[in-house]
Amino acid sequence: MIPVSVNRSEIETGIPAVDASGLPDYVSDAEFRESAARERREKLRMFLTNWQGLTGLILVTLFFASAIFAPWLAPYDPNALDVPSRLSGPSWEHPAGTDQLGRDTFSRILYGGRVALKIAAIGVSVALVVGLILGMIAGFGPRWLDNLLLLLFDTVRAFPTIVLALATVALTGPSLGMVLAIVIITSIPQYARVARTATLTLRNTDFILAERSLGASMSRTLLHHVMPNVVGPLLILAAMDVPVVVTVEAGLSFLGLGVLPPTASWGTILNEGYLVIRDAPWMVIAGGIPLILTTLGFTFLGEALRDIFDPRMGKGR
């Protein structure tokens, strides 16, 4: 049903004021609880019947589980050398074959997942938090600060990640910490941009003005009233950002700029496999599959979440 009057806040903030479905005005509390529970069940049902959402959830769970439980799941020590059976093809003993030093590729992939998870978890969460804070300050603070921060974000974004990484590594030498730092610095701007735009639209809404009229301080307004409304889209962005971070890590490691051998990482596996691609193609294939699946999983999950929580962006049901 079309509401009687145009709800300004709805237009400005994109937060639906009243469910536009003609939900009745007053209902008793029990009925309300019941219908709220029904809505939650329905949302869950929508998520689970959405093939993207379900596939994404399964792949992401698989990624987390395999990385966390790698020491128990891995049949061999990832760094244990077994030179006699080097470059052996897939078999029951070595499901994904062995590399040129005879290390079990499957075990190395599981351990490589740990590196990917570590980079993704730390990189994305630090970038999200810093981006959120900077974005809210840019959106809520004075105009000059906004301009200054925007200039900073755009400068960072203008740098190609790989070139930045090459330059930094040339100065400091490759390490896991360096990869992390590069990943964080290059992804902060996109979080900050989204947070800033959301804050700007919230800034002039009635409820922020209402907080000011009550005497709420700026930090209180930002922390209690702006942040909860900004963080949602950022979380969805984060889900979609994980594959980017994982690929950047793999890419840098592939180039020898990231994780140092002998530590197993999907990038180093690909690198080592690339050298022997004619003799042992399974290494490149086995190293690429988890990368593809993780990327797909997080992308599907992010899109499904966005469809459900922000139906306006979705295909429309």
Nearest distance, CB of residue 315 and another protein, angstroms: 10
Minimum distance from CB of 241 to another protein (Å)? 23
By CB under 8 A, the residues from 214 to 273 that bind another protein are: 214-217, 220, 224-225, 228-229
Q: How far is the CB of 151 from another protein (least distance, A)?
A: 19
Closest distance to another protein from the beta carbon of 128 (Å): 18
**Which residue in the set 104, 211, 249, 303 belongs to the binding site for another protein (CB under 8 A)?**
211
Residues paired with residue 98 on neighbouring β-strands, in sequence order? 104
* Selected range binding another protein among 34-42, 67-75, 192-200, 281-289, rule: CB under 8 A: 34-42
Size of the site for another protein (CB under 8 A): 53
In DSSP terms, which residues pair with 104 in a beta bridge?
A: 98
Q: Which segment (31-39, 49-57, 156-164, 192-200) binds another protein by CB under 8 A? A: 31-39
Q: Considering the rule CB under 8 A, would residue 84 count as an interface residue with another protein?
A: no
By the rule CB under 8 A, 147 interacts with another protein = no
> Shortest distance, CB of residue 2 to another protein, whole angstroms?
4
Could you tell me which residues come within 8 angstroms of residue 302 by beta carbon, excluding any fewer than 6 positions away?
56, 236, 237, 239, 240
CB of 12 to another protein, least distance (A): 8
What single-letter amino acid sits at 302?
G
Q: Is 310 in the site for another protein (CB under 8 A)?
A: no
- Name which of 75 and 224 has its Cβ closer to another protein: 224
| Distance, CA of 264 to CA of 111 (rounded, Å) | 6
- Using the contact rule CB under 8 A, the part of the chain among 2-10, 101-109, 113-121, 178-186 near another protein is 2-10
Name the site residues for another protein (rule: CB under 8 A): 1-10, 13, 15-27, 29, 31-32, 35-36, 38-39, 42-43, 46, 205-207, 209-217, 220, 224-225, 228-229, 316-317
